[in-house]
Structure formats: structure tokens, C-alpha cells
Chains A and B, each alone.
Chain A
Amino acid sequence: MTDQIREQLSALLDGELPRDEMDLLMRRLDKDPELRRTFGAYALIGESLRAPGGRIAPPSFAARVSAAIDESPAIVEKASNTRLASPASTARLPQHAALWKRPMVRTALAAGAAATAVLLFRPEATPVAQLEVTPANSFAMSASPTPAQSQRLAGYMVAHSQFSTPMVRRNVLSGLLAADPGITRVSYEMGEAP
């Protein structure tokens, strides 16, 4: 580690390092723990001069933070929606498309669809007298679904629950079997439902 590199480090801390010198220095910093230690020491000097007293971070603190970040990298939201990122790096999906890709959103939608199906198609949920008899709702009108209808409903719900978490999936399946003992076979493929 030469004086020239450490001088660049000092200027970096002060926000006075020209951008063209920064790339190489950052690469060196990634590889050289002593250079990072020096940066931390320069920062400590400034802090001691400006605000003496109080607690200071132990030498291992930054490494601890780094390890804690490494332990949960999946939760990190990277620069997908930032204004600071350079234009070249901002090529991304539209906001609504990105939203669909999030597992939690997918799970919520699948669970919502399954819940809607349960509410809409459970025969005991709606009093028969309140329904108008039309061909469109004749399925919901039947007080007791035929085995074929139960089977189709089960296939529909199972297909949706596949996008959900294992626990939700299990709940859907056990709920189905408990609610309608007439269902003899639960299919994972919509095509297999009669």
C-alpha cells in the first residue's frame, strides 16, 4: 500500500477524490483489508476531533455488520427503484411488472383467489332463497354439489394453491376434504379434474 494510494483514500473520505481515480481505488479497497482499516482510522480521527467522548465502535464492528448483511442477502432490495443509479443500470421492468414478480404478492394473489373461490362456491354460504335462478348461477344454486362439481372445484382450488406457501396449500387441501367428504380425488393438474 503506497503513500499515493493512502493519499487517495484520505481524499476519498473528504469527498475530494476525482471520479477517475475512484474506480481503481474501490477495487483496491475490496482486496485490501489494511486499506479498509486505514479508512476507518482516518474516519475515527475526524470523529475524535469533531465530537470527542462517547462510545466508539470496536475494530470488529464493520466486519460484524458485513457478516450480518451476508447472512440475509435475500431480503436486500437492490437499486431497482432508485434515482441515484446511473441511467445504464436503470433498465428495469415497469413498476407493475416488477410487483408481479415478488413472491409475497404472488402468494397473496393466489390465497385471495382461493379464498374467493371458497366464499363464492360454498353452497351453504348463500341462502338459496336469495338467489335468482338463472343459468349463470345454477351451479351455486344446487344445495348439494354433484361429485363432478366438487371435483372441478377441488381442481380449481388446488391449482391456485400451488402458487401459495406450503402451509396455505395444506390448509386449502385439508379444508376442502373436511368440507366435502364427497371429494374422492384431489388433482394437482387442472386438466386431470373431471
Chain B
Amino acid sequence: MQAMQNFPPSDESMKSREPGDDDAGLPAGTEQSDLELVRRAQQNERGAFDLLVLKYQHKVIKLVARLLRDPTEAEDVAQEAFVKAYRALGSFRGDSAFYTWLYRIAVNTARNSIASRQRRPLDYEAELSESEQNNVAARLKHDDTPEATVLSEEIRQTVNAAIEQLPEDLRTAIVLREIEGLSYEEIATTMDCPVGTVRSRIFRAREAIDRALKPLID
């Protein structure tokens, strides 16, 4: 409900948002890893760009869904943003982090989508959706489809439950990496073990969580 208070987002509020608002949580090493993938994608390695999509698809869809009046369009707009990013990849010079650049493209694509919808003449369906928006329950439905909400909540619960089940060394390693954003070297220092062990522990933690998640996301 809180998010609804800001709908639709004004141009001003969109302008004032900084990319850092959204990429602050990215762990250490992400930027370097992204730059390497971008460099490969620029040299026509399509697989490298596919990995960037896999890496940021959830983040971009969440961002776009927050900005759009009708978040059910989020997937289409996010897809358009990724296609635009791919087409413009030649102009990415690495002056900023890749996600910061992608973030701007996604925000602009969402803004264009909102603007084009406002220019569109009302049709029967649009009028229906307008009147529905006066109804709080309908607005909630629009904000996030029940399926999306349930799945997202199930994923969150499954991930948390799987982490609880992990042996302590794996749990510590994955938490330090994903939540605290430490590099492997920093984790190795914290846990007093070799970097190779950190790499292996994080991998095994992810494997265990993925096994638990697989029935949900496949």
C-alpha cells in the first residue's frame, strides 16, 4: 500500500532518484565482473549479454514495476529496456557501473511507457481500468498480481528456510557474501580460511538453496 501513495511517479521524483538507490546493495566484485561481461558482449559474445540479463532481470523488473502505473506491464517494459541496452552497448564506455547505466535505461523506458499511455486515447478497457483504480482492492490487484506476490513470498521463505538448514560455515559464507557484500578475500580474513575454501563454501550454499528452490521456479 505504501508504494501506491506515490503512483503515478512524477517526472521530478523519477529525476531525483539516483542509480545508487538501487545498486547500493550490489556485492563487491560485481562491477568488475559486469565490465568483463560487457566487454565480451561488445565483441559479439551474445552469451555474455544473456548472463547480464539473467543477473539483473529480477532487479530491473522490480524497478520498472515500482515506476509503472500498471505493473502488469513491467515484464514488457523491462524486456524493452534490455533490448535497448543491447543495442546501445557499443556506446557503453565503462564510466559508470553497468547496472547504473542499465538502471537509467530502464527508468527512461518506463517513463516513455507512461508518457505514451497518457497520450493514448481512452478505449473501453482503459476506462474500465480507470474506474477499477478507484477501488482499493482493484488497485492492490493491479499493483502486484496475486500469483507474482505468492511466488515471490514463497521464494523468500524457501531461501530463508534453506539458509537456516545450512551448516554454519556455509551459512556464514553466503550471508557475508550476499547480504554484507564482502569479497572472497574479506570473507577469508573474517572466517580465517583460504580464499579457495570461501569459494567452495559459497558455491555449496548456493547449490543447497537452488535444490530447494528448483521445484518453485521450474
Question: A and B bound?
Answer: yes
B interface with A by C-beta (< 8 Å): 25, 27-36, 38-40, 42-51, 53-59, 61-62, 65-66, 71, 74-75, 78-79, 82-83, 86-94, 144, 148, 151-153, 155-156, 159, 163, 174-175, 177-179, 183-184, 199-200, 202-203, 206-207, 209-210, 213-214, 217-218
Q: Mark A residues whose CB is within 8 Å of B.
A: 3, 6-7, 10-17, 19, 22, 26, 29-30, 36, 38-59, 61-62, 64-66, 68-69, 72, 75-86, 89
Residues of A within 8 A of B56 (CB): 43
Asked if B40 contacts A15 (CB within 8 A), the reply is: no
Q: Which residues of A contact B45 (CB under 8 A)?
A: 26
| Number of residue pairs A-B, CB distance < 8 angstroms | 207
Closest chain B residue, CB of each to CB of A22: B36
- With A54-B65, A79-B43, A82-B42: A43-B54 Cβ-Cβ less than 8 Å: yes
User: CB < 8 Å: which of A26, A36, A54 contacts B152?
Assistant: A54
A48 to B59 CA separation, bound complex (whole angstroms): 10
- Please name all residues of chain B whose beta carbon is closer than 8 Å to the beta carbon of A83 when the two chains form the complex: 93-94
Least CB distance, B8 to chain A, in whole angstroms: 17
Main secondary structure of the interface of A (DSSP, over half): helix
Q: In the complex the two chains form, is A77's CB within 8 Å of B88's CB?
A: yes
Whether A56 and B44, one on each chain, are in contact in the complex, defined by CB atoms closer than 8 angstroms, is no
Chain B residues near A19 (CB-CB < 8 A): 36
Q: Which of A14, A44, A85 contacts B33 (CB 8 A)?
A: A14
Separation of A183 and B89 alpha carbons in the complex (Å):
50
Closest to B202 in A: A10
Given contacts A7-B199, A36-B50, A55-B152, contact A82 B93 (CB under 8 A): yes
A85 touches B217 (CB 8 A): no
- On whether the beta carbons of A69 and B65 are closer than 8 Å, the reply is no
| Minimal beta-carbon separation of A127 from chain B (angstroms) | 45
Taking a contact as CB atoms closer than 8 A, the residue among A10, A36, A45, A79 that contacts B42 in the complex is A79
The answer to whether A45 touches B206, judged by C-beta atoms less than 8 angstroms apart, is yes
